[in-house]
A and B are shown apart, each in its own frame.
Chain A
Amino acid sequence: MQIEYDHTGFFDEMFEKDGKPRPHYEGIFQRLKTLSTAEFDQKREAVDLSLLQQGVTFTVYGDEESTERIFPFDLMPRIIPNKEWTMLEEGLTQRIVALNLFLKDIYHEQKIVKDGIIPAEVLATGKHFRKEMRDFSPPNDIYIHICGTDLIRDDNGDYLVLEDNGRCPSGVSYMIENRNVMKRAFPRFFPKSGVRSVLDYPDQLLKTLKFASPNESDNPTVAVLTPGVYNSAYFEHCFLARQMGVEIVQGQDLVVKNDFVYMKTTVGLKKVDVLYRRIDDDFLDPKAFRKDSVLGVPGLMQAYRAGNVGLANAVGTGIADDKVTYCFVPDMIKYYLDQEPILPNVKTWLPYKKEDLDYTLENADKLVIKAANEAGGYGMLIGPKATKAEVEDFKKKVKAHPRDFIAQTPISLSRHPTYCDKEFDGRHIDLRPYILYGDKVRVMPGGLTRVALRKGSLVVNSSQGGGSKDTWVLKQDK
């Protein structure tokens, strides 16, 4: 098969400037070269069919006909050599540690504000700051147990942090399923390729969750709390519960009595020690947060504050992945850890500051403007690609609510050979590694590489036409 294509103009993951494959891609390059297009198509179709039959799907909202889709999977893996990974691992560890120290601080003394590193108004206006968490210490002072930090690479191939997902990062089931699929598609080649395993993620997750238990027990009862079968990530919730061998529960399955949380079973109530909750703070407990929530458990927050149940992630972590707070993470690293940040942020302007607002409005057509509290690629303006009217419209929104937006220089994300329309072509990618924080910090060697399947598109979200790749972290450098 022909793999080479015009790779100029962007940083290409596989090809050097001179067109040669990078050393760590040499193996897969040679393997795919020997395949005919027909053989490749056959593997691809087998993979798609197996994903569909297994029901490895996500739900697309507002699409009546087929609400369940498979997350498109590209057979060409993304490969990261060992040395590069070591650097990422250190950078990500540094970040999750700093974010947790930040959360502990702002829900207690708020020294970082008093010392003038972060303006008080950032917290005061943050939608996800939870006053209910003030002066409460979760077990082991860990707030973000599970983090999915989005990384991208710029023109020079330098890694940048795009955002930290410190609430309920999703996608980890695809990381595992993609690996399983890949092993089946290349049963002879895979074992020789020196890839580090990610398949123990569920074990590590369970260990992390048990560590979050406030109750003294050798074997705490863990359950996954899901919004239910219609949630777009339901497959993942089920997948993780099954792999960990714990119950998956919905709000209706739980009840709080005397500040303890119980599951309703066929033989009565059973106490729960830790909930891996995949429900946003807002819906967690209708007594504490949104009254109209039917997904949550009345009294859960009270039980949490009483120290009778552990929640992962903790309540109120949203303030740490607010896109405005994001800008201060490098400062946090210096402040709490007295270290230089290993992974830089993307250059960002904060329109809530007068001079940044002026700059943003003047240069809106050259910037990427994002809503500070949206996810999934919604509420976003890509200036260089937008029409005049769209830019003007967005400028109005920013002017009206400057705190709700950030502006960034557009990064021409790195490209990766991806099979589209019967041939390989470059498509933009990002990377979401998964970090667990329990008795120690563990960064899974791999992650979810998302790829924007539409030509030229920079949006990799599954809800917006994105696909995914298996991510290979090599034991060695090539």
Chain B
Amino acid sequence: MLCRVADSLFWMSRYTERAENIVRLVDVTHQTLLESENSSEEVGYQHWKPLLRSLGDEALFDSLYKERSSYNVTEFLTFNSDNPSSVYSCIAAARENARMIRDQISSEMWETLNKLYLYVKRADANQVCSEINFGFFQAIKESTLLFQGIIESTFPHELGFEYIVCGRQIERADKTCRILDTKTYMARGDKQVDETLEAAQLAAILRGCSGFEAFQHDFSAEVDPLLIKRFLLLSRTFPRSTLHCVQRLQGAMHAISGCPTSHYSNESERLTGKLVAKLNYSTAADLEGTKGDKLIKEIEDDLADIASEMSKQYMGGGIYDPAAELTEV
């Protein structure tokens, strides 16, 4: 497989996953806003701030918008093409990657992504942002899930498939960490959080990962910040938990190299194995307080390193520079 094709498969998958996660976050934040009694735009923004921070987008938002309002954040996260991680930008980027390798993917895959792109491109941004069109968000989630199903059932389960899995799992693990970050920022932002609102926020975090029901099933307990961390970081069965994601990532990575998981054959495999072990052998106590916050940060950094090592190993990242060749003349 061409390095460039591997790269495009990886990023096509990663961007689709990212779009889906942003949609989940926007959707869920709006749902929590409905719980809030004071619905002024200013109070609304307080709900968005932790999310913007955890995505690392606060500065960009402020540079693009004069007013910090709920409407503007929704627009920023959903439609703004100057925001590289807006839903629109992610879907456009996923489609662009798919377009580059149209000859490699199934036509159903391409058409699903292309339809999704046309859907978002033609949506009435004003209507979506002011009326809070949950149907719009739902449709995007359904399309991205459909896309995954189509990959599963129309794309050969060989090398290319594993790159898709890698892209998806790295992105998903990362976004789960970032969703947990929002809790950290919330706690810092506001000292006297009212209890009902906190419960709503915690439930929102779980819902953002479609994990509310699974959480209840595992713990049947009241939502508690520590339990949520345990669930979202360490669950062995929940498909969006970080541990589950990195285990899947490890499997796909070793399927690519053919090296057994008991060993490693390159740097990205070594880092992934280390991360799996780190999560696997963490206890509830490791997740408490600032220790827990630190762990989440570490995981995010590890994931970034893994992605960059994978790119070096397989996707031509830095292997060959045509310009260097030219200067020889």
A229 to chain B, nearest CB (A): 5
Q: Are A266 and B319 in contact (CB under 8 A)?
A: no
Report the stretch among A2-10, A52-60, A415-423, A452-460 that lies at the interface: A52-60
Who on chain A is nearest to B321 by CB?
Answer: A252
Assembled-state Cα–Cα distance A102/B160 (Å): 46
B111 → A minimal CB distance (Å): 6
Residues of B contacting A286 with CB < 8 Å? 326
Can you name the residue of chain A whose Cβ is closest to the Cβ of B4?
A253
A-B contact count (CB 8 A): 74
Q: How far is the CA of A297 from the CA of B256 in the complex (A)?
A: 28
Find A54's partner among B107, B314, B325 (CB 8 Å cutoff). B107
Main secondary structure of the interface of A (DSSP, over half): mixed
Contact assessment for B114 and A266 in the assembled complex, using a CB-CB cutoff below 8 Å: no
Q: Could you tell me how many residues of chain A have their Cβ less than 8 Å away from some Cβ of chain B?
A: 32
How many interface residues does chain B have, given as a range? 20 to 34
Q: How far is the CB of A141 from chain B (nearest CB, A)?
A: 31
Query: A264 on the interface (CB 8 Å rule)?
Result: yes
Q: Which of B159, B256, B325 has the most CB of A within 10 A?
A: B325
A residues in contact with B5, CB < 8 Å: 247
Q: Are B329 and A266 in contact (CB under 8 A)?
A: no
| Cβ contact within 8 Å between A264 and B320 | yes
Q: Does A147 contact B (CB under 8 A)?
A: no
Is B322 in contact with A253, judged by CB distance below 8 angstroms? Answer: no
Decide if A53 touches B322 in the complex (CB within 8 Å): no
B102 near A266 (CB under 8 angstroms)?
no
Residues of A within 8 A of B118 (CB): 52-53
Decide yes or no whether B110 CB sits under 8 A from chain A: yes
Cβ A252 vs Cβ B114 within 8 A: no
What secondary structure prevails in chain B residues at the interface with A?
helix
Instruction: Check B100–A229 contact: CB distance below 8 A.
Output: yes
A267–B158 Cα distance when bound, in Å, is 14
Binary contact readout A248-259 vs B (1 if CB under 8 angstroms, 0 otherwise): 111111010000
Q: CA–CA, A264 to B316, complex, Å?
A: 8
User: Does A219 count as interface, using CB distance less than 8 angstroms?
Assistant: no
A238 adjacent to B6 (CB under 8 Å): no
The 8 closest A-B pairs by CB, nearest first: A242-B103, A241-B103, A238-B102, A238-B103, A266-B314, A229-B100, A264-B3, A266-B1
Additional pairs, 16, CB under 8 Å, beyond known A235-B102, A266-B314: A54-B107, A54-B110, A54-B114, A55-B102, A234-B99, A239-B102, A239-B103, A242-B104, A247-B5, A249-B4, A252-B322, A264-B316, A264-B320, A265-B3, A266-B6, A286-B326
Which residue numbers of B lie inside 8 Å of A, CB to CB? 1-6, 96, 99-100, 102-104, 107, 110-111, 114-115, 118, 159, 256, 314-316, 319-320, 322, 325-326, 329
Interface residues of A, Cβ cutoff 8 Å to B = 52-55, 228-229, 234-235, 238-239, 241-242, 247-253, 255, 263-267, 286-287, 291, 294, 297-299
A-B contact pairs, 30 of them (CB 8 A): A52-B118, A53-B115, A53-B118, A54-B107, A54-B111, A55-B99, A55-B110, A55-B114, A229-B96, A239-B103, A242-B103, A242-B104, A247-B2, A247-B5, A249-B2, A249-B4, A251-B322, A255-B320, A264-B2, A264-B4, A264-B316, A266-B1, A266-B6, A266-B315, A286-B326, A287-B326, A294-B322, A297-B322, A298-B325, A298-B326
